[in-house]
Amino acid sequence: MSYQVIARKYRPVRFADITAQEHITRTIQNSLRMGRLGHGYIFSGLRGVGKTTAARVFAKAVNCRKMIEDPEYLQQVTEPCGECESCRDFDSGTSLNISEFDAASNNSVDDIRTLRENVRYGPQKGKYRVYIIDEVHMLSIAAFNAFLKTLEEPPPHAIFIFATTELHKIPATIASRCQRFNFKRIPLQDIQKQLSSICQAEGIRVDDDALQLIGRKSQGSMRDAQSILDQVIAFSAENAHEGSITYRGVAELLNYIDDDQMFAVTDAVAERSPAKMLDVAQFVIQNGYDEQDFLEKLIEHLRNILVVQNLSSTRLVERSDAVRERYRQDAAKFTPSSIMQMVEFLLQTQKELKFQFEYQFRFELALLKLIELDSSRSGEPSSLQVPQPQKKKLLTNP
Ligand SMILES: Nc1ncnc2c1ncn2[C@@H]1O[C@H](COP(=O)(O)OP(=O)(O)O)[C@@H](O)[C@H]1O
Ligand SMILES: [Mg+2]
Ligand SMILES: [Zn+2]
């Protein structure tokens, strides 16, 4: 009856189920087929994109009896069978052929010595022992050096997989002895698809745009997406809604600033309506949204408009069709140079806002300023460069 979080329950156990990292799984499968395995690998990439998952499948594959004993299976399927004793040990978490070592909390030279001792002994069962060293960039230089020797002359049964979110922090002496694999951010569509099949398996009904919102919020990390889904499901169960989980519900739960608010800003600019703009500012402030977040999203919004203007297509805008249509309309309302100016101004404001106290006041003024900046219709030069002593004074000395 114990509840298992989605991220663990749906961790892929075969190469084929690892989404969006085919460039890596294919290479690993090829080297398995050819029997050309290295002793050191670096798996780098954002959190929650499949590094640990791929390392575990890899460890399982190199020890799978069927893969070892059945050449045809090895050539044609190249997946851990999931049925032999070794695979079952892996699946139940009792295999001794895999060790996971968290370098973030065990990063001293002594820790590495212990690991090195451990590495000398071969596996009792199976062929390889795989050591996954997570967050390897956290090791001290001394610890790296202590490890170098092992990596130079590894025992034949040892495979090291170094996982890191910060590739640049790994010394060249280590990196040059390893095969390097860069895990990609997972595209929104793939995340959405995965969430959708999880919901189906769990018998939970969720609207597509709600899943897309979860995907966007997770910014390319499958684990983040799955954790948010857990939260959404728990929240919805509590509220015992019949029917499906909606975009509105998710947006509310995540305190998500909706696209509507973004379009309200560009509408206010297009209509040159300070009153409308102040409404948006009030909405943000009263609902307790973070002003910095809002500006961040607004910059992304303007970026989307620019993209549509430059490509004359909305294909790079990751939104539903209805929202894309609104982008198409907005793109026609402004000139690219005007949008660029707004973006530059907002980037600047974002920086300044960090050091300000009268936050909300500054925030309102920044939004109002956008109306002034827009020169799309008049063709007149923007007022960005024109000094405005009066307003400046107001800003620093309210
Ligand atoms: N590429 C992927 N395909 C499918 N699920 C994934 C993928 N990447 C991550 N996940 C999900 O996220 C969870 C965490 O992934 P993990 O491999 O531990 O990430 P990390 O890259 O941080 O090591 C997994 O249990 C799995 O459910
Ligand atoms: Mg990991
Ligand atoms: Zn097997």
Residue 46 in any domain: the answer is yes
**How do residues 23-67 score in pLDDT, each as one tens digit?**
999 999 999 999 999 999 999 999 999 999 999 999 999 999 999
Number of domains composing the chain: 3
Residue 215 pLDDT: 93
Of 261, 287, 285, 291, the C-alpha closest to 356 is 291
Q: Do 270 and 331 reside in the same domain of the chain?
A: yes
Question: If we measure between CA atoms, which residue out of 152, 84, 82, 91 comes closest to residue 116?
Answer: 152
- The pLDDT score that the predictor gives to residue 3 is 77
Identify the residues whose C-beta falls under 6 Å from ligand 1: 7-8, 10-12, 18-21, 47-53, 163, 186, 194, 222-223, 226
Q: Are 169 and 137 in contact (CB under 8 A)?
A: yes
Atom 1, ligand 1: which residue's CA is nearest?
Answer: 19
**129 lies in a domain?**
yes
Residue whose CB lies within 8 A of the most ligand 1 atoms, among 9, 10, 11, 25, for a mutation test:
11
Domain-embedded: residue 227: yes
Integer angstrom CA distances of residue 354 from 16, 22, 293, 343, 363? 45, 41, 12, 17, 11
Q: What is the pLDDT of residue 377?
A: 72
Mark whether 65 and 12 lie in a shared domain: yes
Boundaries of domain holding 193? 188-253
Tell me which of 253, 270, 286 is where a domain ends: 253
User: Residue 258 — pLDDT band, cuts 50, 70, 90?
Assistant: confident
Given the structure tokens 């607004």, which residue do they identify?
298
Q: Is residue 24 part of a domain?
A: yes
Q: Is 1 inside a domain boundary?
A: no
- Among all bound ligands, the one having the nearest atom to the CA of 223 is 1
Residue 387 has a pLDDT of 42
Angle, vertex CA 25, rays to CA 120 and CA 185, nearest 5: 110
Name the domain boundary from 149, 182, 215. Answer: 182
Nearest protein CA to atom 25 of ligand 1, as residue: 11
The CATH number of whichever domain residue 198 belongs to comes to 1.10.8.60
Identify whether residues 161 and 212 lie together within a single domain: no
| 297 inside domain | yes
Residue 86 predicted with pLDDT over 70: yes
Least trusted range by pLDDT, from 211-215, 311-315, 328-332: 311-315
User: What crossing angle do the helices spanning 359-373 and 259-270 adopt, rounded to 10°?
Assistant: 50
Q: Does residue 288 have a pLDDT over 90?
A: no
* Average of per-residue pLDDT across 230-245: 77
- CATH number, domain of 357, equals 1.20.272.10
Segment 98-103 shows an average pLDDT of 92
What pLDDT was estimated at residue 230? 94
Confidence of residue 317 (pLDDT cuts 50, 70, 90): confident
pLDDT of res. 239: 61
Task: Judge if 323 and 224 occupy the same domain.
Answer: no
Please report the pLDDT score of residue 398 as a whole number.
39
Q: Write the pLDDT tens digit of every residue in 354-385.
A: 777 677 888 999 999 999 999 887 654 444 44
Residue 238 banded pLDDT, cuts 50, 70, 90:
low
pLDDT category at 393 given cuts 50, 70, 90 is very low
CATH number of the domain within which 43 lies: 3.40.50.300
The ligand 1 atom at the shortest distance from the C-alpha of residue 190 is 3
pLDDT at 17: 96
Residues 194 and 102 occupy one common structural domain: no
Q: Are residues 31 and 174 in the same domain?
A: yes
Looking at residue 244, what is its pLDDT?
85
Report CA(82)–ligand 3 centroid distance (Å): 5
pLDDT of residue 376: 81
Residues 6+ apart with CB under 8 A from 114: none
pLDDT at 346: 96
Domain end call among 148, 182, 216: 182
Residue whose CA is closest, atom 18 of ligand 1? Answer: 52
Q: Of all residues in the chain, what percent carry a pLDDT higher than 70? A: 92
Q: Calculate mean pLDDT across residues 69-90.
A: 97
Residue among 66, 44, 201, 176 nearest 127 (CA) = 66
**pLDDT score, position 273:** 96
Instruction: Tell me the backbone φ, ψ of residue 137, rounded to 5 degrees.
Output: -65, -10
pLDDT grade, residue 253 (50/70/90)? confident
Task: Tell me, yes or no, whether 168 lies in a domain.
Answer: yes
- Kindly give the distance from the C-alpha atom of residue 4 to the centroid of ligand 3, in angstroms, as a whole number: 24
Q: Distance between CA atoms of 27 and 179, rounded to whole angstroms?
A: 11
Give a yes or no: residue 346 inside a domain. yes
From 263, 289, 293, select the one nearest 276 (Cα to Cα): 263
pLDDT, tens digit, 9 for 90 and up, residues 189-210: 999 999 999 999 999 999 999 9
Asked if 156 and 200 sit in the same domain, the reply is: no
Same-domain status, 130 and 81: yes
Per residue in 218-228, pLDDT (tens digit) is: 989 999 999 99
Listed residue (111, 125, 104, 118) closest to 154, CA to CA: 118
Ligand 3 centroid, distance to 388 Cα (angstroms): 73
Per-residue confidence at 255, pLDDT binned at 50, 70, 90? Answer: confident
In this structure, the answer to whether residues 201 and 177 fall within a common structural domain is no
| pLDDT higher than 50, residue 351 | yes
Nearest CA to ligand 1 atom 24: 11
Please check whether residues 218 and 315 belong to one and the same domain: no
Query: Predicted confidence band at 397 (pLDDT cuts at 50, 70, 90)?
Result: very low
Q: Is the domain of 145 the same as that of 203?
A: no
Does residue 236 surpass a pLDDT of 70? yes
Strand positions, DSSP E, the chain: 40-44, 98-102, 129-134, 158-164, 179-182
Question: What gap in Å lies between CA 50 and CA 171, rounded to an integer?
Answer: 23
Tell me, yes or no, whether 163 and 303 share the same domain.
Answer: no
